[in-house]
Chains A and B, each alone.
Chain A
Amino acid sequence: MKYNKLFIATALFVALVTTGCVNSLDIQPLDPKLITADVLFNNPANYYSLLAKCYADLTLCGESGSSGSPDISSSDQGVATFSRTLFTAEENGTDEILNGWGDGGLIEFHNQDMSNINTYDLVLYDRIYFNIAVCNEFIRQVDSRLSTIPDSIMGNVTQYLAEARYLRALYYYYAMDLWGNVPFVTEKDAVGAGMPPQIKRADLFAYIESELKAISPSLLPANQNPQYYGRANKAADWMLLAKMFLNAKVYTGTSDYNDCITYCDSIINAGYSLHPKYSELFLADNNATCLDEIIFPIVEDGTHSQNYGGTCYIINAAEGGTMNPSFFGIAGGWSGNMVTSTFIKKFSDPSGLTDQRAMFYNFNYPSPGAGQNVTPTPPPTSATAFTPTLAVDKFKNVTSTGAPGSNSTFPDTDIPFFRLADVYLMYAEATVSGGTNGSMSLALQYVNDLRTRAYGNTSGNITSTDLTPSFILDERGRELYWESTRRTDLIRFGEYSNGDYMWDWKGGVINGKATSATNDLYPIPAADMTSNSNLVQNPGY
């Protein structure tokens, strides 16, 4: 009988363990870093953290260190940042960049023979749509909780909501600019749901315009209060509208210079002014010194916001060879980006002694003007060899007092993403191009304001007869080079692909050649063409 008892006891034990364990399949994540939506939004402070993510997506790549816990997969998390690869997409195909690395994907930009599997095209597209998805998530979660949000923070949350919509509009603007007709997803679509429809470029233009106008009342006022530095305010909203309307012909087929001028006026009248010293706009303490001019920055910080995109890329990749890294405030460079000799020739005096915006290392180090007697730079014999004589030292990780930034790899230098100088040039261009509500004299004055700052006096000022569209394109280059707007500008002037403007190695030949107009839009990455059968590829890819 003792066997019987033993057997029964065992059977009971097993039955008990069995029933107990089947329930164990419902365990929840143990990692304290992984939390669910209900827990997250229980704490009102977390709304701001999620909004901070919508902003951080401008230049950060993940949630841990400089490349850990990445948002999107990429073999190089530096490339996976919006700030860096937007820079690549806006600059590498133009006269403002030659890259010494020789990576196949980068050469395709410069040669303007982009393939639909180009990894940079893909990673920028993925980054922008990741950013849109995060903004959508903010809007979706907040909308669904509006009734539960305490009155004490309701005002803040409404403002946050407008900012998330602004950032979404900003990301959509670049999607529209780079690829034309693109997938369209809003907070109304569920996460993980199917294949979004493709929206026409002009329809997306209308959507962004309506969003920007709708949120404007809820945004922070257009001022330079350091308390709100980094956040999208009404001026940032107008700036994006102005940019859209300046390029309206490209995006919708119909130009709209008047609206451009209107929003430029709004910004100019909001109290912004040119920062007296051009070079300080690109230094490590520009977040403290240049609030007069910066309308909307991408905030970088070597201690708290470490990433291999943004100014980390712009500054490190600009330094290399026998150049002195400490001049740039970094430990050592990556020997990547330089300009074309064509671009250097945009400055009649590239030494920086007259037009101080000519910030070419060869002339600046060890002291400004050091290389002033160097003969005009010839086109480099290789498109992919880093040449210090073509190096740019516009962005640096040193402060206006010469102190190095807080970290010698990750600069403190913010990207002055939208700044007043661009507004002045937009105003001038819209007016010269036929905008009727602008003033030619004001346009001339704005351009001369920039040139007076650049020369330190009026010696570089121009007259009204000089103020032609092509002068403005060149002036935009001189003022805004390496500020992620060159490709858009060249396309607007018809000079990007098959125009008659040639620069070193355009199209892959040393003196440049015209390329196919296909290049005015990037290809929708093959990966998304596969994932979303609603999409129609851009012509030529």
Chain B
Amino acid sequence: MAVICLLVQAATMKAYSQTTNVTLSFKNATVKQVLNDIEAKTTYHFLFNDQDVDVNRKVSLTDTKQDINDVLSQLFKGTDIVFRIEGKQIVLTKHKPIARPIKGTVKDEKGEPVIGASVVIQGTTQGTITDVNGNFSLTAPANATLNVAYIGYETVKMPVEGKTQLVINLQQSAVALNEVVAIGYGQVKKSDATGSLSTVSSKDFNMGAISSPEQLLEGKSAGVVVTSNSGAPGISSTIRIEGGSSLYASNDPLYVIDGVPILSTTAAGSSGPLSTLNPSDIESFTILKDASATAIYGSRASGGVILITTKKGGKKLSITYNESTSIATVPKTLNVLNATDFRAAVAEHYPGSVDLLGTGTDQTSSTNWQNEIFQTALGQDHTLSISGTTGKLPYRVSVGYNNTDGILKTYNFNRTTMDVGLDPNFLNNSLKVHVNLNGTYNGNNFADQSAIANAVSMDPTKPVFNNNTAWRGYTTWTQNANSNPNGAAVALGTPNPVAQLNLTDNTSTVLRSIGSVSFDYHVPFIPELHANLNMGYDYSESKGHNNVQDSTAWTNNATVAGGYYNPYHQINQNTSFDFYLNYIKQINPIRSEFNLMAGYSYAHSYSSITDSTMNAAKTAYSAVATFSPTAVNLVSFYGRLNYTLMDKYLLTFTLRDDGTSRFGPGNKWGLFPAAAFAWKINDESFLKNSRVISELKLRLGYGVTGQQQINQGDFPYVGSYQFGDSFTQYGLGNQFITTVRPNGYDANIKWETTKNANVGLDYGFLNNRISGSIDVFNKITDNLISQVPPAAGTNFTNSLLSNVGSLNNKGLDFAINGTIISTHDWNWEVGYNISFDKVKITKLTSSNIPNYSIPQGFIQGSSNDNAQVFMVGQTPYAFYVYQQVYDKNGMPVEGVYVDRNHDGIINSSDLYCDHSPTPDAVMGISSRLKYKNWDFAFDGRVSLGNYVFNNVAANSTWNTVLHNADYLQNVTTQIYQTNFQYQEYHSDIYIQNASFFRMDDMSLGYNFGNLFNQKVNLRLSLTCQNVFVITPYKGLDPEINGGIDNNFFPRPRTYVAGLNLQF
């Protein structure tokens, strides 16, 4: 270094031959003062550009008489200013320094080399990236500054200061960490994402006693509707991302846990595909919404993709213990006639049948059956996790235990989980390994949930027990029940709901393990190249039974009242193998970055179920044991190019070629392309300095995805024969002959194809204090699987799934998040999202006959009636009903409907589509308020324009009370709204507005900070879940998945005390 400086000086000096001596003496003066002094003492004038020469620099010069050249050399020593004496003028100019080779190493905060970090000379487009050892070398002027950047780290500006060997330490960026999002086979800075996606991380999760992970997401993301399927603990939720794009095939998203796609189907004996995961082990969800984001998952992506990232080990030892205790209460029961009203109603409407009423000495015995089956239930949840780094091995180990009772008596969900994450590095950190192993033991008691309906129907004048000996003491409808409680049961008589709960053993245990190992190898001789290998498995085994003791009047299958013995056993195996290469190349002269990924994937899934039903004594089968194994294989090739120009214009192309064993020759392979463009408008010069707009990114995306989960088994294209069991034989010549049937099939069946166009805008104001996005999408599903009747006689079924329909789904999603207050003591963040979604069936059959409809939505209580339809031009599951006629007092006139087509006859051509269960708009609202150590938060949701068929009300007619002459049934007080004699299932009076606002949770917490010499951090919280619901709906709960409300398992109101300890 010293040598080089000398050379430079020597070169400078050689240029000047003229000599003038000047005497100067300055101590800590500015350059300007020196120059002025020289001008005063000599005849020279200085010429220079103010911007080049720093005249305010402080210098000291020794008190000697020196040649002007020596003085100036001394004055500008160590700067880039050179001087040239031209006559009486001294011209000062900036010297263009000579670039010199510089070597350096980039390390992270752990001291590990950072591979692939970009090193760019500031103000230029020149740069390089670090190799496998974190080393780089480039040529740069001694005075240059290097910008060193790596995704997830704060960018470091490092001045060279003449050095030739640099060590640059990067700090992980808290902000950037959150902004890196998984996109499937890689990750990207959120600001560089081109697709429509949203991330929900642990800090945003819903609070309370949450036993199934999907509920963490309720209301959190625009366009993502999460509906819990019932109020049972651990129960799965139905997730719809930007509405559905299918009618018969799956609309469920693809779940990918740490790179392993898991089965989205629910195994027998399990509450749901995610119910075996401990929500505490989840770091974040990334929801890929539009096809430009999801197309990388090809034929499984039409329902959207949810990438789940589990928590990882950190550097410092951290022990966390979370505990919560919950009390679940019954928020509401249905208003049924009480014993007094019921006696009066029977006396009025069926005076001949009053002797069926409960006797009791004073004629006032009464039972509130709903109170008998529901309870206040306790739950507990514990998670202990330890994370840190031992030696060079970062790890996280967690153990979780959840045990929650349902508010339906005997219902129980318990789960023990263990999760291990390891992140070792090998080969000088060029090989990064991530191992995740998850094991779950899950126990369920599903109870007999038909007790909920029967608690509504059971005669309130009857006691729970009536001292009989034939029916285990439980009051049972027998012939002449009052005089002969031990008599033969009335076949259709309402089962005693308390007996159903107590005598049913419907339990299961599920063992499940999900594991993955991923290798990220930084190829040493091609520093731009990463090779990734992910291998994963998902194995579950569930064993359960739904057994009922004998002497139970409602079990009539194999033998009358003989109970049930129904064991089942299911095994699911899912393995996946993914290999992909990732090549990132910056080409600075054209200010471009290419990020190219190409890979191959293989997935195999196998499942088998064994099932049989006998009577409790195991003497007679009603369904013989069957063993049904099946398998699917998927082979895929995929690639993605992300091209970034000037760090402002981003282009993404993806292509996936998917092969599946599910479809026949000619249909096995499908191509799923997508393209997206994003423009970071805020980086344009006209916005770059804006203090208001901190982010503005326009996104355009288009892509094609598929849906191969068509719910028709794994071999829908294969023509096959099936032998019947021992109950489906036919007697010929006094022998019973086993039958064999040709099965219906469509040899040409294949996946549905969804084309999706999306326009989105991500915005951020005031340094992203306010941020959000707006997306508009249009999805068209072609080759829609529709259940069409094949022309009669041409196939071995009357209902064939075929690719003949089309569906259109348009919508708008808007999200805004803001920090309203941010001071030292106060912090208040709020989030709001709204989405609008219009789904319409545009084609159902190959020949579009008007008003052709496919019935949906079976009406409970009817023998063969449906409440909903699929019909062209309508939302799927639109209600299909008659228009009720009302009298002048506003009371409905029974069985009188509007002749909508004016043909003088009221028949099925007067049915019309009246609303649907699909809401017009859904909103999510959340708030997080902090004051010093206190925090208060709530999350709520709004759904507007969703309708429900109130099946419970539809069965509340006088005819229900005495449908058959030998037993009575109770009804809800909704009977007074219609006073109908008979079931009028098709009246639109039962299509009821079920819009709602639900306060999902409210939570108050206090953080005690560091206790015990800073060793322990303690936070306590109180949460109420399902705080209140505001709705015009007249039934129990407006949020009914599928839209047919028939004795719903109520969602409990739960109070949770939580404790969070961190060591």
User: Complex Cα distance A305/B559, Å?
Assistant: 15
User: Complex Cα distance A127/B493, Å?
Assistant: 31
Encode B480-495 as 1/0 by CB contact (under 8 A) with A: 0000000011111100
CB pair B736–A183 under 8 Å, yes or no, is no
CB pair B728–A65 under 8 Å, yes or no, is yes
Q: Does A66 touch B at the CB level, under 8 Å?
A: yes
CB pair A27–B719 under 8 Å, yes or no, is no
Q: Does B28 touch A at the CB level, under 8 Å?
A: no
CB pair B732–A55 under 8 Å, yes or no, is yes
Q: Does A105 touch B at the CB level, under 8 Å?
A: yes
Q: What is the CB-to-nearest-CB distance from B115 to chain A, in angstroms, rounded to a whole number?
A: 13
CB pair A532–B791 under 8 Å, yes or no, is yes
Give how many B residues have a beta carbon under 8 Å from the other chain's beta carbons: 108
User: Complex Cα distance A14/B668, Å?
Assistant: 22
Q: Does B920 touch A at the CB level, under 8 Å?
A: no
CB pair B627–A32 under 8 Å, yes or no, is yes
**Stretch of A351-359, A447-455, A490-498, A522-530 on the interface side:** A522-530
Q: Does A126 touch B at the CB level, under 8 Å?
A: yes
CB pair A304–B726 under 8 Å, yes or no, is yes
Taking CB atoms, residues of chain A closer than 8 Å to B905 are 113
Chain B CB within 10 A, most for which of A32, A196, A322: A322
User: Complex Cα distance A194/B1046, Å?
Assistant: 40
Q: Does A229 touch B at the CB level, under 8 Å?
A: yes
Chain A CB within 10 A, most for which of B479, B739, B799, B959: B739
**Stretch of B186-194, B338-346, B463-471, B523-531 on the interface side:** B523-531
A230 with B733: in contact, given A115-B909, A386-B964 (CB under 8 Å)? yes
Taking CB atoms, residues of chain B closer than 8 Å to A287 are 731, 734
CB pair A73–B797 under 8 Å, yes or no, is yes
CB pair B789–A530 under 8 Å, yes or no, is yes
CB pair A34–B794 under 8 Å, yes or no, is no
**Stretch of A45-53, A146-154, A203-211, A265-273 on the interface side:** A45-53
User: Complex Cα distance A459/B669, Å?
Assistant: 80
Q: Does B1012 touch A at the CB level, under 8 Å?
A: no
A34 with B728: in contact, given A192-B746, A193-B794, A321-B966 (CB under 8 Å)? no
Taking CB atoms, residues of chain A closer than 8 Å to B533 are 10, 14
User: Complex Cα distance A210/B533, Å?
Assistant: 69
Encode A175-203 as 1/0 by CB contact (under 8 A) with B: 00000000111000101111110000000
Q: Does B747 touch A at the CB level, under 8 Å?
A: yes
CB pair A33–B723 under 8 Å, yes or no, is yes
Encode A384-427 as 1/0 by CB contact (under 8 A) with B: 11101000000000000000000011000000000000000000
Q: Does A72 touch B at the CB level, under 8 Å?
A: yes
User: Complex Cα distance A7/B788, Å?
Assistant: 52
Chain B CB within 10 A, most for which of A64, A66, A183: A64
CB pair A103–B864 under 8 Å, yes or no, is yes
Q: Does B661 touch A at the CB level, under 8 Å?
A: yes
Taking CB atoms, residues of chain A closer than 8 Å to B737 are 48-49, 52
Encode B128-159 as 1/0 by CB contact (under 8 A) with A: 00000000000000000000000000000000
CB pair B728–A306 under 8 Å, yes or no, is yes
A137 with B742: in contact, given A64-B623, A191-B719, A532-B792 (CB under 8 Å)? yes
Q: Does A462 touch B at the CB level, under 8 Å?
A: no
A334 with B491: in contact, given A4-B525, A40-B721 (CB under 8 Å)? yes
Which residues of chain B from 964 to 989 have a CB within 8 Å of any chain A CB? 964-966, 982-983, 985-986
CB pair A129–B793 under 8 Å, yes or no, is yes
CB pair B719–A134 under 8 Å, yes or no, is no
**Stretch of B630-638, B922-930, B939-947 on the interface side:** B630-638
Taking CB atoms, residues of chain A closer than 8 Å to B321 are none
Taking CB atoms, residues of chain B closer than 8 Å to A316 are 491
B529: nearest chain-A partner, CB-CB: A7
Taking CB atoms, residues of chain B closer than 8 Å to A62 are 724, 728, 741
Q: Does B427 touch A at the CB level, under 8 Å?
A: yes
Encode B654-667 as 1/0 by CB contact (under 8 A) with A: 00000111000000
A288: nearest chain-B partner, CB-CB: B734
CB pair A24–B964 under 8 Å, yes or no, is no
Q: Does A507 touch B at the CB level, under 8 Å?
A: no
CB pair A34–B718 under 8 Å, yes or no, is yes
Which residues of chain B from 730 to 783 have a CB within 8 Å of any chain A CB? 730-734, 736-743, 745-747
CB pair A195–B791 under 8 Å, yes or no, is yes
- Known contacts A229-B731, A305-B728, then 11 further A-B pairs from the complex at CB < 8 Å, ordered by chain A residue: A7-B531, A25-B661, A35-B721, A35-B723, A37-B719, A126-B792, A133-B742, A230-B730, A299-B731, A335-B492, A384-B982
Chain A residues with a Cβ under 8 A of chain B: 3-4, 6-7, 10, 14, 17-18, 21-22, 24-37, 40, 46, 48-50, 52-53, 55-56, 60, 62-66, 68-69, 71-76, 79, 101-105, 108, 113, 115-120, 123, 125-127, 129-130, 132-134, 136-137, 183-185, 189, 191-196, 226-231, 287, 299, 301, 303-306, 316, 320-322, 324-326, 330-335, 384-386, 388, 408-409, 526-533
Q: Could you list some 28 contacts between A and B, CB below 8 A? A: A7-B531, A14-B533, A18-B600, A25-B633, A25-B659, A27-B631, A27-B633, A27-B661, A29-B714, A33-B722, A50-B742, A52-B739, A55-B732, A63-B739, A69-B724, A79-B864, A103-B863, A192-B745, A192-B746, A194-B794, A196-B794, A228-B732, A230-B733, A305-B728, A320-B964, A325-B491, A384-B982, A528-B792
The 5 A-B pairs at the shortest CB distance, nearest first, are namely: A332-B491, A321-B965, A126-B798, A185-B793, A129-B792
